[in-house]
Every structure is written in C-alpha cells, then in structure tokens.
Amino acid sequence: MSEKNIMDYDTVRLDDENNEVVIIDQTRLPGSIELIGLHTAEEIWEAVYRLRVRGAPAIGVAAAYGIYILAKQIQTEDFQTFRQEFVRQKEYLDSARPTAVNLSWALNRMLTVVEKNQDKTICEIKKLLKQEAEEIQREDILVCRKIGEYGLSLVKPGDGILTHCNAGQLATSRYGTATAPIYLGQERGYHFKVFADETRPLLQGARLTAFELQASGVDVTLICDNMSAAVMRNGWVNAVFVGCDRVAANGDTANKIGTSVVAAVAKQYGVPVYVCAPTSTIDLDTPTGNEIPIEERPAEEVTELWYRDRMAPEGVKVYNPAFDVTDSALIAGIVTEYGVARAPYTESLAEIFRRKQQAPLQ
C-alpha cells in the first residue's frame, strides 16, 4: 500500500466517541504530519490562536465541532443553565481571532440551534448541535467545489496562476478556495503552472501551499513574496487567485498580509486578481475594509520564529499585522459558490445573497 501524503488526511474531523476535534497541527508542517485531539475550550482556543488550525472555512468547521464537544460536557437538564454555559463557551472561543468572520459565523449558527429548540430536551439539543456542525462541514466541501467550477471558468489550460498564503485544502475541509480551480484543473488536464508566494512572516505559502500542491502533482514553483513583480513582468502569470478572511459590503477584502501588495503589482502588469470567498466570509454589515478589525500578532514571529539565531536586534520595534485590506478597485472578481461578483460590489454581492436565499446549495 502506498504511503499516505498530506492530501489523504482530513484537515478537521470529529471523533465523537472520544469527545474530541481532531486536526492536523499545521505549525508542524511540512516537517511532520501530526494529528492532535482537542478536548477542552482552552485547547480549542489555543489551536485557533496559534494557527494549528487556520484558514477561515477550517476555523469555522473546527469551531462548530468544538462548541458541540463543549456542549456535550454541560451536565444539566435546565435549558437556561445550559444556554448560559453554552454562550459563555461560545464567547470564549469567538475571542481567539478577530478578523476571520467564519469563526463567529459558525458559532452563531450553533447558538441559533440552541435558541430555536428550547422546547426540546438537552439531550435532543446536543444531537441537533452535532447535526448542524456536520452540515457546516458538508456545506464547506460543496461550497469549495462550486468556487472551483466558477474559478476555472476564468482561466484556460496552460495558464500561469499566482497565489498568496494558503487558501488550499489545509484551510478548508476539501479543495480549498483559491486552490479549488487549480485542483479541478489538475483533474481535467489543464496543466497550470502555479507560483506560490512564501508568505512572510509565517510562511504559509512555503510550508503549506507548496507542500499540498506538490503532493497533488501540481506544477508549483515557490517564490519569495518580493518576487511577484518579476514573474508578472516576465509574463508568467495570467491570473492571481487568493482566499480571504472577510469581505466588506463594498468588495474590500481582508486576507493574509501582503495580499494588497500582490494586487497592486498585478494591477501594474494587467493581471486580474480574483478573490475566492465563500458567502460565509462576506460580511454585509461591514461597509468597507476600514471597519474590518485587523489582528496583530507577536513580534517574535518576525524576529526569530523561523531562525536558529535571532535575525533582528533585541528591543527593535515590530509591527506585525496578520492581514491587510485589498481595495475593491484592485479586484477583478469575487468568486463565490453562487457565481462571480464584479464591480460595483455593493450591488453584485447583494445579488449573490439574493441567489443564495432563492436557491440554497444542495
């Protein structure tokens, strides 16, 4: 039997019998593939904050399974007592990372299950919570597949594609968002040539995207972040596909730091930038990118995390935002599971949600 590679593992899965959420510890990649089980609120929170599980859709799935596991541990038959403890755990998990809207989106879906079923027994509510978490994961897989189909319609066989950070299978349940067109193209013989930015300072492009694309047989070339202009100027890139953690109502998007630089460079060289965004990441209550909260992370991620010896002087000031906002004017299209939204985004994103209400995915 052939040896398993990273694509053979579930990014997130529920082990109901052992009361745990099982994830790939992405901080250990690509050196070793290690699965860890999360049992407590503290373990789940730490896994999200420390990026052991990461990527907006995968965070949402992990949060849904996580709050279900925690709900199972609430020992009461009184609804109000159950709800109070559920809300306390939900708010704690929700505090792990502020930018990715999927975290609060998934937790709010789970809370809605509780509040809509207060006439049922606690045992019945717990069963419904499990069903909802499983549905969130099922939808994630279907959504990514649909994004892949729409994204694939924007490129042609043999194209060069550049991507930033990791919006691949490791960031979702399957296919990824930005990589979904790449994987579908791989299945259909499109022979894309993919350039993966290393994505400083946490190197998700080098450690994760290059790792999973190579494992899938995709023609992938790793480049440093500051090489994107060179490959575009050479004419090697026909399209940029990136994921995102939140989309504002006007089409501004928050994605891993450096995405706005890629988009600005792509504009200079006439390369279209497509943001692959499940509707769960679209926040119509946030008017523009100016209102998206941007997570700041520890200085040591920049100064020493990946080095044997410290690579910056002791005491130097460090600014380490995890995300930046790409202006909607730099985005050629936002690829969702209901089609490709284009400018003006205030109109097209609203239309995407009308389609969603009229014909939910099956």
pLDDT digits (tens, 9 = 90+) for 127-149: 999 999 999 999 999 999 999 99
Does any domain span residue 343? yes
pLDDT digits (tens, 9 = 90+) for 192-207: 999 999 999 999 999 9
CATH number at residue 216: 3.40.50.10470
Give the residue from 143, 163, 189 where a domain finishes: 143
CATH number at residue 69: 1.20.120.420
Give the pLDDT mean for 115-135: 98
User: Does residue 45 surpass a pLDDT of 70?
Assistant: yes
Give the residue from 110, 143, 176 where a domain finishes: 143
DSSP assignments along 160-183, one per residue: EEEE-S--SGGGSSSS-STTHHHH
Choose, from 245, 252, 283, 324, the residue flagged as catalytic.
245
Q: Any residues with CB less than 8 A from the CB of 55 and at least 6 apart, and which?
A: 11, 166, 167, 168, 170, 171, 172, 243
Spatial separation of the C-alpha atoms in residues 158 and 111, rounded to whole Å:
46
> Could you tell me the pLDDT band of residue 2, with boundaries at 50, 70 and 90?
low
Q: For residue 63, what pLDDT is reported?
A: 98
Q: Do 124 and 165 sit in the same domain of this protein? A: no
Side chain identity at 74, as an amino acid letter?
Answer: I
Whole-structure pTM value = 0.94
Spatial separation of the C-alpha atoms in residues 10 and 23, rounded to whole Å:
7
Q: Do 63 and 211 sit in the same domain of this protein? A: no
Does any domain span residue 212? yes
Identify the CA nearest to 167 among candidates 143, 193, 191, 134: 143
Percent of the chain with pLDDT over 70: 99
Percent of the chain with pLDDT over 90: 96
The per-residue pLDDT of the chain, averaged, comes to 96
> Could you tell me the pLDDT band of residue 361, with boundaries at 50, 70 and 90?
confident
Q: Do 135 and 171 sit in the same domain of this protein? A: no
Give the residue from 95, 128, 143 where a domain finishes: 143
Does any domain span residue 1? no
Give the range of the structural domain holding residue 122, as residue numbers without chain letter: 6-143
Q: Do 175 and 245 sit in the same domain of this protein? A: yes
Q: Do 351 and 239 sit in the same domain of this protein? A: yes
pLDDT digits (tens, 9 = 90+) for 235-265: 999 999 999 999 999 999 999 999 999 999 9
Q: Any residues with CB less than 8 A from the CB of 264 and at least 6 apart, and which?
A: 330
- 245 noted as active-site residue: yes
> Could you tell me the pLDDT band of residue 1, with boundaries at 50, 70 and 90?
very low
Does any domain span residue 255? yes
Q: Do 164 and 265 sit in the same domain of this protein? A: yes
Q: For residue 249, what pLDDT is reported?
A: 98
The kind and range of the H/E element at 80 are helix 79-94
